[in-house]
Every structure is written in structure tokens, then in C-alpha cells.
Chains A and B, each alone.
Chain A
Amino acid sequence: MTTRRNSAALLASAGILATGWSIGTAHGQTLTTTVPATSTTSGTTAGAASGTTSGATTYTGTRQSDRWGSLQVTITVASGKITNVTYTTTAGDGKSLSIEARATPTLKSEVLAAQSAQVSTVSGATYTSTKYLTSLQSAIDQMG
């Protein structure tokens, strides 16, 4: 698990959750409605309040996953106001975080060569030229 604080995208997501909480309270809903305090991961605090110093209380939401990765938000509340929002994410865990998966400079001679006999189809930038399209497609069809 990686903790990040400088990703604009995920901060935006955290901001949306925080906003949701504010809206929720405005409608008299409880904190756990929009930021469920039922942590299910990592063997840490089982959600709800894990009190801290100076009257502040932290709440950890459930881990949310979608195609953009997973996210778990923790908020700190003091005197009924959110004073801090942090999150952890597993987005990028595993293969994509390994050093080997980083894009590295590669000489053309080191790029995996195409074995045209094996190729089923061709990926390239969008083609708008009818002539080019027709040619490419006929070439692809010949492979078939």
C-alpha cells in the first residue's frame, strides 16, 4: 500500500468525498453514510473512531475500487469540522510498481521486432486517408 499526498487526481477524489460529507451533514445524515466507517483492510482500526489527541477524531472509510484504482480515505474531525483528509491507495500496486515495468529508453535495435507472419491486425494512429485505409486493410486481409 502506498500513501500519496501529491496526486491531483486522487486529491480531487478525496475532495469529492469530503464535499459529499459536507453535503451529507447539511441534510442531517450521519458521517458514516457518505464516508462509511467500516474499515475492511490492513488489519488497522476497524473503521469508526480512532481517537487521537486534542479532541480530534479520525474516521476511515471503506476502500473503494473502480477502474481508476482503489482508494481509502481517512478524515480527521475536530469540533464537528473536518480538519484533515488523507488517503491511501493501492492503485499501481504489483506489477506496475515494479522497476521492470517502468518505461525505459530503448534503442530501436532493442525493440521487439514484429514477426509479420504472426500479426493478426495492426494498431496505429487513426487513419483518415481513404487511400491509406484501403491499402492497410487489404494488407491486413492478406495476412488472414
Chain B
Amino acid sequence: MTVSDNGTRHVFTSMGTAVSLAFAGEAPAGAIAAVENVFRALDDQFSLYKPQSEATAVAHGGLQITAASRRMQDTYALADRWRIATADAFTPHRPDGSIDLSGVVKAIAIDESGAALRAHGASDWCLNAGGDVLTSGAQADGMPWVVGVVDPADRGRLLTQFTCSTAYPAVATSGVTERGEHVWRQDDADRFVQVTVVASDIITADVLATAILSGGRTALDRALTRWPLEVIAANASGEYLTTPAFRA
């Protein structure tokens, strides 16, 4: 953990990625441990990389979702609710039919971490888990948190930025550049290589970023008629579709 005039920053790894937690000032006692516990508990239960996890038992071990824990069922229900809401652009099912809740678990961890931080009295912080960001309040200098968006054509650069607010505190990005084609696509039309969604909460932002990456322009248009969002989507030709917040 580092403490400076610019606040406190703590980094740990979970869910196969780095989690970075920044506070405008000092971290309230217990706040960092609470966030780590949220991530650890969810990872232990939902990781498909852990042979002993409940999610692995559901996906490969013959444990029926109807016989799984309440939390597993609730998470599946949430993910399936999003599948319906996105007309299958987002799905908790792999093509072979097995259940994969990875698409919501990280966002749930961020969301629950936000609640834990508030419960510990923290009001000014920025939580980044593997490129998905939830913010609250302001930076140490009183300025709002600003989230840079990676340029899909050159990951060493930033493409654009978004200044977070109370209405729009959550920023999530889905892309195909990091893990290859890890999102199953609905169609070939209007393929995006990277989609960033800003929303009022991190689960909405994260799910819709995935849904738009998977479902293309159709999913993008549908999402914009149903939720208040800001979006920037890049296709393989280096062309962009943007809402006003991302236009100069």
C-alpha cells in the first residue's frame, strides 16, 4: 500500500487479474480487508479455474443448478435475467450448454466491494478490477475521478477518457484483443473489437459491454433505448460509434 498526498492506493490480485483500490485520503480501518474478502469469497465459489469450486461442480461435476447453493442460484438467475434483457447477446451459458457465470461475477465483486466500502465509511474511492471501474466521490484534490480508456489499436496508449459522476460512476470495457475471441458472437455484422460502457452501476456497465461486443450494432442500439448509458465502440477498421460524452 502506498500513501501519498494524492491518497492511498492498494493493489492485490484476484480472479486472475489485478485489483487496484484508490482512496482520496487514508483508507478507513478494515475497508481494504473487506474488499479483499469480497473478491476472495466470490472467487473461491465461482472460479472455473479452481477444481474444488462450486461453479466447477456445476459446470463439469454434475451438480445441478437446482441443487446448488442459494447464492449460486441467485447469481444464475441474475445472469439469466440479463440474458433475457439483452435478447441473448449476454448469456450465462457456453455453447455446449454448461453454465459459466464469469461474465457477472467480477462485476458483482466490484458492486459488493462498493457496498462494503460505503459500510466502512469510505466515500471517495476508485476501484479497478481488471479494467472495470467503479468510482465514488472525488479525488484527493476534489476533482472527479477520470477513467482513461485503452486504445484497442495500441494498448500502450489511451483512446479517450470519461469523467465520472454520481449518475455515471461505473465504466466497463470488453474487448477481443486480450484473450482472443473469448466472447461468443451472435453474428458477424458490425463486429466490434472493443466496447466501453458507462452506466449507473458496474453490473449494468459490464454486462452491456459484453452484450454489445457479442451482439454488435443491434445490441448497441437496443441497449441505448433501454438504459441511460454512454458508449464508445470500436470496430476492427478503426472506426468508432460513440455517444456524446466521447465526442470532442
Contact = CB atoms under 8 A, between A and B. Distances in A.
10 nearest A-B pairs in the assembled complex, by CB-CB distance: A125-B175, A124-B150, A114-B158, A119-B148, A103-B241, A124-B131, A114-B161, A92-B225, A106-B242, A125-B178
A120 interface: yes
A125 to B, nearest CB: 3
Contact of A141 (B9, B241, B246): B9
Contacts of A116: 148, 158
B85 A9 contact: yes
Contacts, number: 191
B94 interface: no
B16 interface: yes
A111 B171 contact: no
- Chain B interface residue number, banded: 35 or more
Contacts of B135: 120
Contacts of B179: 125-126, 128
A20 to B, nearest CB: 15
Interface stretch (B34-42, B55-63, B66-74, B226-234): B226-234
7 contacts: A103-B231, A104-B241, A108-B240, A110-B248, A111-B246, A115-B146, A120-B139
A110 B246 CA distance: 9
Interface of B: 2, 4, 6-7, 9, 11, 16-18, 20, 22, 81, 84-87, 106, 126, 128, 130-133, 135, 139, 143, 145-150, 152, 155, 158-163, 171-179, 194, 196, 201, 203-204, 220-222, 224-229, 231-233, 238-248
Nearest to A114: B158
Contacts of B2: 141, 144
A101 B22 contact: no
Interface residues of A, number: 49
